[in-house]
Amino acid sequence: RPIRDERTTLEKAIGIPPIREDKNIISKAEEFNQAWRNVIHRGDCTLFDRIVHANYYTENHGVKINKDQSRRLLLGRKGKAVMGPHLVIYENDEFLCIQRYSRVNLYTWFSMLSGVTYKNGKVYTQQTTREPLDNDPSKGRWDWEEYKSK
């Protein structure tokens, strides 16, 4: 990723990221979100396999899950879940915090907050907290059907 680093010493010291030179370069958040979306919506693991580190792991309800197990779990959601919009909370070359919405089986909605670490430019660990929502977060804001095709 070409970066034009014109930050001051203070900006570097407090961790303000450099300006991306090429605005067409996809952000880590967009790449992460799209990889998970591709597996869940289409069963396409190509991007997931490319951006996820071989030693990746996450914990799900206290159980450590590796890359292959995670891929299988995501594939099991195909046709059952829709990933909605995302919001980047924080992003740099080593860490990503992203908030996303998902819908499962039409009438179950979640807000998810994920913390993602990177190693050698690849997704290395992920921790996601899912909070069930009482109401559909899309009401008057977006259409779930639009996100099925993304």
Question: Which residue type does 130 have?
Answer: R
Q: Which residues lie closer than 8 Å to 86 by C-beta, 6 or more apart?
A: 29, 33, 98, 99, 100, 101
Q: What is the pLDDT along the chain (150 residues), one digit of tens a residue?
A: 445 566 778 777 877 666 555 445 578 999 999 999 999 999 999 999 999 999 999 987 788 999 999 999 999 999 899 999 999 999 998 999 999 999 998 889 999 999 999 999 999 999 998 999 999 999 989 999 888 877
16, 45, 147 from 72: Cα distances, Å? 36, 10, 22
**Phi–psi pair at 9, nearest 5 degrees:** -60, -40
Model pTM? 0.79
